[in-house]
Structure 1
């Protein structure tokens, strides 16, 4: 396997990150949501301008993005923040679909988890996974996350029928 490096994303990474995140949205959600809904998600959350800003303005609430790279190509993206004194959350986490199953996601999640634990003192970690996302659910369960409850996905309305399954684990 080729060398993979993990680092904090910069403003200059925004375009390739946006391209990867759009590709991952289509791969992950094409059987769960309408094309219009996916296009709106991409336009709202994964546009270059927003990602540039999210790569620059970093805080306890939003740690910025961390990326996995292979041969100078961005192949994975993770981001999140601290939601309570000792609670970290993963808000965004995607791996290039063509590279799934090669351990890249585990490495990126482990890196981010250590960041939350040792930089911010997180003792537990949460993640929201789209109901029916059979790419994400088994991944998180295999890494010790346990289902807690269902809720509307961040930024959606009830009529969107976008339900998240909330999982947590101790770290």
Structure 2
């Protein structure tokens, strides 16, 4: 049975593994290996994750983990981008655990935190254009497409586009 909780330092290696494997599984056919490795090196290294596990604020609510018999099988987190507006910043699963409801449980935990602790009334998420795992997931949870913009860390030559989705809470 999968259990969701706030991440602790002992979950850092599992978060790094899940985010790295999830990122590769999602974007392997969309982005260059150089781009993927740069994003993973910046965001999903153990030192950064440990800092993000040990600190939390309105702007970054900390990581939540999905645990199955103590093993991290999913990780996600978000924060507030304005007074009443939350955003999902990261949500990845072990690629072998898709379709089991783990992502939904993580999204629910992040959303509950944003609503109950921070007063969120709406929520945003960015999903890469062409991400056929993320787009249907968020659309099925009442996120509505709003706009597109270049992805963080990309340049004009990359032509990597992020789709912005919104929902009322």
Q: Could you say whether these structures have the same fold, taking a TM-score greater than 0.5 normalized by the shorter chain as the test? A: yes
CA distance in 1 between partners of 2:121 and 2:152 (Å): 23
Task: Calculate the TM-score normalised by the size of structure 2.
Answer: 0.96
Among 116, 119, 131, the residue aligned to 1:118: 116
Aligned-pair distance for 1:140? 0.3
Unaligned runs of 5+ in 1: none
Counterpart for residue 94 of structure 1: 92
1:124-164 per-residue CA deviation (whole Å, 9 max, x = no partner) reads 01000011000000000000000000011223333332211
Counterpart for residue 153 of structure 1: 151
Do the aligned residues in 2 keep the contact of 1:11 with 1:53 (CA within 8 Å)? no
Counterpart for residue 80 of structure 1: 78
Do the aligned residues in 2 keep the contact of 1:11 with 1:52 (CA within 8 Å)? yes
Question: What do you get for the CA RMSD once the two structures are aligned?
Answer: 1.0
Aligned-pair distance for 1:106? 1.0
Runs of 4+ in 1 over 3 A off after TM superposition: none
CA distance in 2 between partners of 1:15 and 1:103 (Å): 22
Aligned-pair distance for 1:86? 0.5
1:66-90 per-residue CA deviation (whole Å, 9 max, x = no partner) reads 0010011101111110001100000
Counterpart for residue 142 of structure 1: 140
